[in-house]
Structure formats: structure tokens, C-alpha cells
Chains A and B, each alone.
Chain A
Amino acid sequence: MLGVIFFYFFAALAVVAAVAMVVTRNLVHAALFMAGTFLLIAFLYILMGADYVGAVQILVYVGAISILFVFGIMLTKRDRIEDSNRFNRYGVAATIVAVLLFAGIVLAVLGAAFRTVPSDASTSTIQTIANLFLNEYVLAFEFAGILLLAALVGAIVIGQTHLGKARAKPRAPGAGIEGGKA
């Protein structure tokens, strides 16, 4: 009973935060609303007994939001941050896409045959997840790890070559007017 009340409370707040994220003109506010949405969805996971998923949701997305926040500040080259979110001007197109997506999801949900599983909150979910990861889905798990490692190494290499080029070609005085000579 209490769970149901909390579910609707958090779900309603999550929807409000998500809408606010899209509607707001301020990029920083949008990032904060996004963090709020993720947090509220994590609460929903915990409410459903999936406490591992909830904790990971907070752990991963909140860190990501902080990074997003920093990038939002650093990459915004407009003078007024209040007007920095320029992607919410296409109201009609966005409405059409949103309605189509929502209809698609509704159709999919209505068509799906859900199994009712007895809730078993007392047992630990981590052991089950760990067993699945390291037995049945070990290949996918390892591939994801290698992919992330490759991305990490790639990012470092790209960063380093930029640094190397900058050091290899010191801009001597007058080097910028080569084109002018020709």
C-alpha cells in the first residue's frame, strides 16, 4: 500500500523532472533536471526490490551528470547561459516524434505477454547477477570490458597526439604568415 503511494509519487516527480529537462532553456538547469530524473528512477528500482540496479543507477549516472554539467559549461560558447539550450525550438517536430514513440511503446507493452513473478525481496540479487555475468553471459561481459578499455586507450592516444603536435611545432615568431609570402 505504502509502496504504491511512493511509486506514484516518485513516478510523477520523474515525469515532471523529465519534461522540465526538455522544456528549460538553460543548459545547466537541464543537466540538473536530468540528474533528478535519474535519481527518481533509481528510487523506483529500489522500490521494486532491485536495489543493486538502483545503486548502480545512482553511481553511474550521477557521476556522468557531473561530467555532463562540466562539459555543458565549458562547451557553451553563448554569452547568456539562460538561452543556451537551443534544441527545444522545434516544437512541432518534437511533438510528432514523441507521440509516435509513445504510441509505439504503448503498442509494444500492450502486446507483450508479461509473466507474473512472485516478489522475492529477501534473497540477494547480486549473486544471481554475478553468476549470470560470469557463466551464461561471460562473452558479452568480456566484450563490453574490452570495448570500454579500447575507448579509454583511444581517448588517451588522441589526447596525446594533440599534445605531441603542439610540442613538435613550436610557433616561431612570423610562422603564421607563411601564406602571405606566396
Chain B
Amino acid sequence: MTEFLTTVFNLIQGILGVAPTTLALALPWMDIFWAFVYFVGAVILLIINVIMLIWIERRAAGFFQERVGPNRVGPFGLLQTVNDTIKLLGKEWIMPASADRMVFLIAPLLVVTVAVTMYGLLPYGPGITPVTLNVGILFFLAVSSTNTIAVLMAGWGSNNKYSLLGGMRTVAQIISYEIPMALSIIGIVMLSGSLDLGEIARSQSHVWYVFIQPVAFVIFTISALAELTKSPFDMTEAEQEFVAGYHTEYSGIRFTLFFMGEYANLFSMAALGVVLFFGGASGPWLPPWMWFIGKTYVFILFLLWIRWTFLRIRVDKMMKFNWKFLIPVALANLLVTGVGIKLWQHFVERSI
């Protein structure tokens, strides 16, 4: 099975590598061709991922809550998501009469655009990083923060007080939790000496950063859950408070796009965690990209475990927890890391 997949991958790579030269395309067109190939690849990966993730989440939720979960459609209920998607696509598109038309319509597209862009930055393995950037991690955070605008647009465009409140709360939450996340990542950047995601993954060939930076890992996991607006931080979808938050008014394929964006972000955030703390695509025997996907899915299961175990916390306590606990701890961790690196350089590296 493994060898078969590797062969198929090599074959595709070979065909794609040869095709443009045999067609004698000019250089700029080749760039466009490759951009298109990566784009299609990212979209396919996104759709497969979302379908798998929804199934995994529902089965995992069943497991954690001691019930069965969807197991009727196809083997192990694998086709449940496909069925649900077809059902969602067949539903009527409803737009509130007083909605802000363009803003309402663009918001779901923007969510998916952001998700696809983030897929393009991840190092899936040596040679299969779609876009290698010097400032990869910074660009990743920048792109993921544009999600807040899409959420606000959806909340505002719906012209519904529940949607707007949900959108505003999401923005407050995401912007606040971006700070401890960035601070926890700075420690990793200091250790690896690079902002390039591939380089950070490669610099962990001896020891994974999760063992050197355990505090940063805990902070990263908590703020990742908050960034993804997953329970215990799912303020945006607190049903008792405001129906379904910013996507209350969306139906049919537009709701599907929001749903897709949410799960796509779950994957890319977990993949970022794997790159930062678990050595990225490195591992024995199997091809690197399989290690990458495998580690990412294990990390996703870990996040889901937290999600389905803890209860939602109150919104003011969530903010207090961030500003009065998480950020000071992250800053202290940063200080310790900096001093530690200097001491290491001074005493250990010089004596070797």
C-alpha cells in the first residue's frame, strides 16, 4: 500500500515535471502552470481532509461520550459525510431581505480562500512545500488572522443581532489569543534560528521541540483551540447565547463553505503544531509526507479529545485567563528560553 502510494505520487510528479517542457511552454506560463497545479492539489487535499475530519470528529465524539456515532452509511459510517454534503448542497439558499448583499456573499468565499492559502505554506515533506518563504511562520500567522475579517463580514452582513454579536465576540477572542500563540512560537524561532517552516522542521532532527519547550507547547495548544473557536472556547457558537453565532443566517452551500473552512483550519493549525513541536515530516521507514499527515491526524485527535472532554468556559473568564495568565506565562517562558540559549552557547557549545 505504502509503495503503491509512493509510486503513484512519483508518477504524478514525473508527468507534471515533464509535461510543461514537452509542451515547450514559455517560462512565465510554466510558473502559472505550477501555481495552478499546487492550487488544485491544495483544494483536493482540503476537500478530502474536511470529509475525513468530519467523520473522525463525529466518531471520536461518540467514542469520548460512550455512544456509537454515525456508523450506518458505508463501512464504519465513512460515507456519512458524503451524504451530508449532498444534502447540504441540495438545500435552499436563503438570504435575509435586509442583508448587506455583497458582504454577505463574499464572507464564505473569503473563509475558504484563507484556508487554501494556508495549505500552500505547509511543508508536507522535502520537495513538496508549495511555497517556501523566508518568513513562512509570520506569513502563516498573518494569513490566519485575516479570518477575523471574514467572520466579521459574515456577522455584519447577515444583519442579525445574534450574528453580529457572535462575530464581534469571535474577533475579540481570536485577536486576544493570537498574542500568546505568537509568543509561544517566538521561543521556537529563537531555538531554530529561522522563520522558514521547513527549516524549523529540519532543525528538530536531534530532539523535538516539544521536549525543550513544553510550556510553549501547552500555551500553543490552548491558544490553537481558542483560535479555532473549539470547545472549551467555542464562544462563537454558544447556542444558548446566540443561536449559531456568525453563520446563523447561512444555509446550503454557503453554510457548507463555513463548515469547510472551520475543518480546514483545524488541519492547518494542527499541521503547524506538528511542524513546530513534533519534527514536521521526519520519521523512519515511511515516506515523509505520510509521517506529516499521520502526525497531524494524531495531533488533531488530541485536540478533539480536549474539545469533547472540557465544558465551555464563560466569556469573561476566557478573556481573563488569556490576559492575566496565558500572556504573562508566555512572556516568562520567552525570557527563560532566551537566557537558556545564551547560557548554552556560553558554557556548552564553547567547551565542545
How far does the Cβ of B91 sit from chain A's closest Cβ, in whole Å? 28
The answer to whether B138 and A59 touch across the interface, beta carbons within 8 angstroms, is yes
**Residue B100 CB within 8 A of the other chain:** yes
CB nearest to A122 among chain B residues: B134
**Interface SS of chain A: helix, strand, loop or mixed?**
helix
**Residue B148 CB within 8 A of the other chain:** yes
The answer to whether A29 and B103 touch across the interface, beta carbons within 8 angstroms, is yes
The answer to whether B168 and A62 touch across the interface, beta carbons within 8 angstroms, is no
**Residue A58 CB within 8 A of the other chain:** yes
In Å, the complex CA distance between A73 and B163 comes to 14
Q: A32-B149, A66-B148, A125-B134 are in contact. Are A58 and B178 (CB under 8 A)?
A: no
The answer to whether A35 and B149 touch across the interface, beta carbons within 8 angstroms, is yes
**Residue B119 CB within 8 A of the other chain:** no
A-B contact count (CB 8 A): 70
The answer to whether B178 and A63 touch across the interface, beta carbons within 8 angstroms, is yes
**Residue A13 CB within 8 A of the other chain:** no
The answer to whether B143 and A58 touch across the interface, beta carbons within 8 angstroms, is yes
In Å, the complex CA distance between A51 and B153 comes to 27
**Residue B171 CB within 8 A of the other chain:** yes
**Residue B152 CB within 8 A of the other chain:** yes
For chain B, residues 130 to 147, give those with C-beta under 8 angstroms from any C-beta of chain A: 133-135, 138-139, 141-143, 145-146
Which of B133, B148, B168 has a CB less than 8 Å from the CB of A51? B133
Question: Which residues of A are found within 8 Å of B50, using beta-carbon distances?
Answer: none
In Å, the complex CA distance between A32 and B100 comes to 13
CB nearest to B193 among chain A residues: A127
**Residue A148 CB within 8 A of the other chain:** no
**Residue A2 CB within 8 A of the other chain:** yes
In Å, the complex CA distance between A65 and B152 comes to 11
Q: A52-B138, A55-B135 are in contact. Are A62 and B103 (CB under 8 A)?
A: no
The answer to whether B134 and A52 touch across the interface, beta carbons within 8 angstroms, is yes
Q: Which 5 A-B pairs give the minimum distances between C-beta atoms? A: A58-B142, A2-B28, A59-B142, A55-B138, A55-B139
A-B contact pairs, 19 of them (CB 8 A): A2-B31, A2-B32, A28-B103, A32-B149, A51-B139, A52-B135, A52-B138, A55-B135, A56-B138, A56-B142, A58-B142, A59-B142, A66-B149, A67-B171, A67-B175, A69-B156, A69-B171, A70-B152, A73-B168
Extra A-B contacts (17), CB below 8 Å, given A2-B31, A56-B142, A59-B141: A1-B28, A28-B103, A32-B149, A32-B153, A35-B149, A55-B139, A56-B138, A58-B139, A58-B142, A59-B145, A63-B145, A63-B148, A63-B175, A66-B148, A66-B175, A67-B171, A69-B171
Please report B residues at the A interface, Cβ cutoff 8 Å: 27-28, 31-32, 100, 103, 133-135, 138-139, 141-143, 145-146, 148-149, 152-153, 156, 164, 168, 171, 175, 178, 195
